[in-house]
Structures are given as C-alpha cells and as structure tokens.
C-alpha cells in the first residue's frame, strides 16, 4: 500500500503537508494541493484503514451476529443490514452464532477489542432458553452500543427492532375465526423463542376471546429432533377435523399445505392456512400460501438506522424500541 510518507518523499514535502493537502486544508497552496492530489491519484493512494481507526477510535464497522443464515428470514435481514450499512458508509463483520450461546459469547468477546463500533444482533436460541444475557450486558457496560432485532430480551437496556408478533398472530387467527373455523391448529418450531411465545399467545388470545369457539387450542411444537414431515403427518392423523392452521415459522405452513392437499383436503374451502413465511416459498405452493409479511427489509434497515443514530449521539438519550408493522396477506389458502 502507498503511504503518505511515500507521497511526501516523492514530492519533497512533509507528511503533514500531504495530509493537509489531501484534506483541502486552507493552509496549503493551491499549487501544492494539486501536485499532491495528482500524485496520490496516480499512485492510487488510499488512507490506511487501520491507522485511521487507531487515530479516530472509530472503525466504521458493525458487528452483526445472526443465529442462522440458512433461515430465510435471517438471510434477508442480513441482506437488508448489509445494504443499509453500506449505504451509510459502514462495513459489517458477520458472525453466525448457530443458535449457540458459546459462539455468541465468543463473537461478542472477540469483536469487542476495538474491531467494531457497535453490534447488531438477534439472540441465539440457546441464549434465550437459558436466559443468560450477561455477555450482552457486559458489552453494554463497556459502552459499546447494541441494537437487537427480532429476538430480543426484556431486561437488556438497549435499542431494539421488533415486530408485533403477538398482534400479527392474533389478527391472523381472528381471520380464521371469522371464516368460521372451529378446529384451528398452531404449528411452531420456535416455541422456546421470545417471538415464538408471543405468536403462540396471539393465537391463544384470539381463540379464548371468541365466545363461539368451543374447542381447545391445539399446539403442535416441532422440536429440534423432530422430523417436520412426520409431525405434520401425525397431526392430520390425530386431528382429522382440523380446518385452520396457523404456522409461526417459514416452512411448516408450506409442508402442512402439501400434506393436506395430498390427503385430499380442499383448500381453502375446508381448510385454511396462514404462515409466517416469506415470499420465497410461494412458488412451492398452489394455491398460494396466505402469509403474515414481516417486512424483513424494513427490519434490517431500521436496525442499522438506530445503530447509526446511536453512534452519532453517544450521549445517553433514552433507548428506543421500534416496532415494524406486519401485514396479513391473504392469498389462495384462505377464504
């Protein structure tokens, strides 16, 4: 890499003159500025990032910790975060916790040595299950800003971006009730997560509120070890009269639809399905799956925006929780 020193030597001026010239300092003569800039351009001079960071104590880099990139929601969130960060002049260092507390801890620790200006993260499953947030508090105590998205923790005092999981699920269930469904099942593979619990409760509330709904709620939890397809097969065996399904994750709604069609259920006449899916699965469904759209791009964008705001006014203005609107999109699997 070309350095200021090299430019200075070639031009027979001092390093500081070169530095000032490149910053268009008023102190430097027009002529010198031009000579410096020409040579800099000619030699493709780029200021050394590490030196700048060391000096300014800013890295212009954000640490992003994602539980699982193979999950479409998180891939899309990462996409949105990268876009917005780039737009704002930040790079992102990506770490994947793979739902593990240990990996999450390690990433946080390793990057808190001046590698990043702040962390954007969604909490790993294991972390939520064990409810162990000390590693995150530790970061906050060091005055490194953290913005949580999607999977957040009540007790952490930091900025957050969430959706109204409870409300979205409540509304979707209401819709099924309005259709006159009498045996509505809630399927989830994220029962242990904050968002999973909220979604489940939204469903529950809608059902309990409905005086005309006489049956018990039915919860199908897909465990870590379970085979999604087997569980859903079993569901249809044990609850032949199911007429409504709400799925809390990206895939189980789609699989349920396939299985139901294969078993001869008439969708949406006899059975309605609503999923928390992104549109990447739509091509695999017929009729097209009705979904709760999470506006993942907006989530990612808001997360970065909150972070940048925080970085620009490090004084302790109150922490903010931004709720991104969801939207119930009715397609072919609902009446």
Partner DNA sequence: CTGAAAGCGCTAACAC
Partner DNA sequence: GTGTTAGCGCTTTCAG
Which listed option, its own copies, DNA, none, makes contact with residue 286 (CB within 5 to 8 Å by class)?
its own copies
Q: Percentages helix, strand, coil for the chain, rounded to the nearest 5?
A: 45, 15, 40
C-beta closer to DNA: residue 47 or 287:
47
Q: Is the dihedral of CA 175, 176, 182, 185 positive or negative?
A: negative
Of the candidate residues 16, 29, 102, 115, the single one contacting its own copies (CB under 8 A): 115
Residue 14 touching DNA (CB under 7 A): yes
DSSP 112: T
Residue 94 touching its own copies (CB under 8 A): yes
CB 162 within 8 A of CB 321: yes
Residue 143 touching DNA (CB under 7 A): no
CB 200 within 8 A of CB 190: no
Residue 47 touching DNA (CB under 7 A): yes
Please state the closest distance from residue 312 (CB atom) to DNA, in A: 16
Of the candidate residues 24, 44, 57, 315, the single one contacting DNA (CB under 7 A): 57
153 vs 97: CA distance, rounded Å: 16
Residue 54 touching DNA (CB under 7 A): yes
CB 163 within 8 A of CB 172: no
Residue 211 touching its own copies (CB under 8 A): no
C-beta closer to DNA: residue 2 or 156:
2
Please identify, among the stretches 204-212, 217-225, 255-263, 318-326, the one whose residues bind its own copies according to the rule CB under 8 A.
Answer: 255-263
C-beta closer to its own copies: residue 86 or 323:
86
Q: Nearest-CA neighbor of 147 among 230, 85, 99? A: 85
Which listed option, its own copies, DNA, none, makes contact with residue 10 (CB within 5 to 8 Å by class)?
none
Spacing of C-alpha 304 from chain mean position:
11
Q: Is the dihedral of CA 160, 162, 165, 167 positive or negative?
A: positive
Q: Nearest-CA neighbor of 147 among 283, 322, 278, 291? A: 322
291 vs 305: CA distance, rounded Å: 27
Residue 261 touching DNA (CB under 7 A): no
Residue 55 touching DNA (CB under 7 A): yes
Of the chain, the end-to-end C-alpha distance in Å amounts to 64
Residue 78 touching its own copies (CB under 8 A): yes
Of the candidate residues 142, 214, 224, 237, the single one contacting its own copies (CB under 8 A): 142
Of the candidate residues 9, 38, 51, 280, the single one contacting DNA (CB under 7 A): 51
* Burial of 327 per CB tally in 10 Å (0-12, 13-18, 19+): exposed
Q: Is the dihedral of CA 256, 257, 262, 264 positive or negative?
A: positive
Residue 34 touching DNA (CB under 7 A): no
Spacing of C-alpha 41 from chain mean position:
40
Chain residues that interact with DNA, rule: CB under 7 A: 1, 3-5, 12-17, 19-20, 22-23, 25, 27-32, 45-48, 51-52, 54-55, 57
Chain residues that interact with its own copies, rule: CB under 8 A: 1, 46-51, 53-54, 59, 61, 64, 69-70, 72, 75-76, 78-79, 82-83, 86, 91-96, 98, 103, 107, 110-115, 142, 228-229, 251, 254-255, 258, 262, 280-281, 283-284, 286
């Amino acid at each position: 890499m070309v350095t200021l020193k090299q430019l200075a030597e070639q031009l027979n001026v001092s390093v500081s003159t070169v530095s000032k010239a490149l910053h268009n300092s008023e102190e430097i003569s027009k002529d010198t500025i031009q000579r410096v800039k020409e040579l800099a351009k000619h030699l493709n001079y780029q200021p050394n990032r590490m030196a700048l960071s060391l000096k300014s104590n800013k890295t212009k880099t954000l640490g992003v910790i994602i539980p699982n990139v193979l999950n479409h929601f998180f891939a899309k969130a990462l996409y949105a975060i990268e876009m917005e960060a780039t737009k704002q002049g930040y790079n992102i260092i990506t770490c994947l916790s793979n739902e593990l507390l240990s990996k999450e801890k390690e990433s946080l620790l390793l990057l808190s040595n001046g590698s990043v200006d702040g962390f954007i993260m969604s909490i790993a499953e294991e972390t939520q299950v064990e409810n162990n947030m000390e590693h995150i508090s530790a970061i906050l105590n060091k005055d490194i800003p953290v913005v949580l998205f999607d999977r957040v923790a009540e007790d952490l005092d930091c900025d957050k971006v969430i959706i109204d999981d409870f409300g979205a699920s409540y509304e979707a269930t209401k819709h099924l009730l309005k259709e006159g469904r009498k045996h509505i099942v809630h399927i989830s593979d994220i029962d242990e997560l904050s968002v999973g619990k909220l979604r489940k409760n939204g469903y529950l509330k809608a059902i309990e509120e409905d005086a005309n709904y006489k049956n018990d709620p039915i919860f199908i939890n897909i465990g870590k070890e379970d085979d999604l397809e087997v569980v859903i097969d079993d569901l249809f065996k044990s609850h032949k009269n199911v007429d409504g399904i709400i799925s809390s994750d990206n895939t189980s709604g789609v699989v349920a639809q396939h299985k139901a069609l294969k078993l001869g259920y008439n969708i949406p006449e006899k059975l309605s399905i609503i999923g928390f899916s992104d549109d990447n699965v739509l091509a695999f469904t017929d009729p097209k799956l009705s979904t709760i759209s999470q506006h993942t791009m907006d989530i990612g964008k808001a997360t970065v925006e909150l972070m940048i705001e925080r970085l620009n006014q490090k004084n302790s203005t109150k922490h903010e929780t931004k709720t991104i609107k969801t939207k119930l999109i009715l397609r072919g699997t609902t009446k």
